[in-house]
Amino acid sequence: MKTHLPVLKVSRFAPHFFAVKLDETEYWNPSIVKKAGRVLGLYIFNDREETYVASLTPSLWLEYIGFEAEKRISENIYDQMIDASGEDASNYFGVRMIEDLPLTEPGFFGQCKIDLKKEFPALHRQWEDIEEAREYLQANWIL
């Protein structure tokens, strides 16, 4: 006899994506900073996937999306920055550091985090994993 059990979706296991903007000006060449002003690295993370990486405190994997410059920059400077930023900027960051960032709305320039589930609920439901969310955000600059 076949039984039909209801499917229970537990929301705590569903991803909850946030974007963060981190001031990374100090890591850029001074000649670039002179033209670009402050430079923010943009990342996305799932706050439900904490990891312990050689530490007693939890970390989050932040997937690199791109960068944002304070000043309007030429296409030439933009291309130089794209070449310099590379694909290997994704990394683990301490949960405490991320928790201390102010929660803001898209469009804010400065160190912050943005709750993508709250700001873009329809999009958030479509993203099954961090790679899907990252690809969308890289192609559609909405932060």
pLDDT band of 141, cuts 50, 70, 90: confident
Q: How buried is residue 25: exposed, middle or buried, by Cβ count under 10 Å (0-12/13-18/19+)?
A: middle
pLDDT of 9 over the 60 cut:
no
Task: Provide the whole-model pTM.
Answer: 0.83
pLDDT exceeds 60 at position 5: no
pLDDT tens digits, one per residue of 83-140: 888 767 889 999 999 999 999 988 889 999 999 999 989 888 888 888 889 889 888 8
Residue environment code for 90-101, b if the CB has 16+ CB neighbours within 10 A, otherwise e: eebbebeebeeb
Residue 68: count of CB within 10 angstroms of its CB: 15
Cβ atoms of 40 and 67 within 8 Å: the answer is yes
User: Is the per-residue pLDDT at 81 higher than 70?
Assistant: yes
pLDDT of 18 reads 94
Q: What is the pLDDT of residues 25-79, one digit of tens each?
A: 999 999 999 999 999 999 999 988 888 888 788 999 999 999 999 999 999 999 9
Tokens linked to 89: 């900027």
User: What is the structure's pLDDT at 4?
Assistant: 52
Compute the Cα dihedral for 13, 19, 21, 24 and give only its sign.
Answer: positive
**Residue 88 pLDDT:** 76
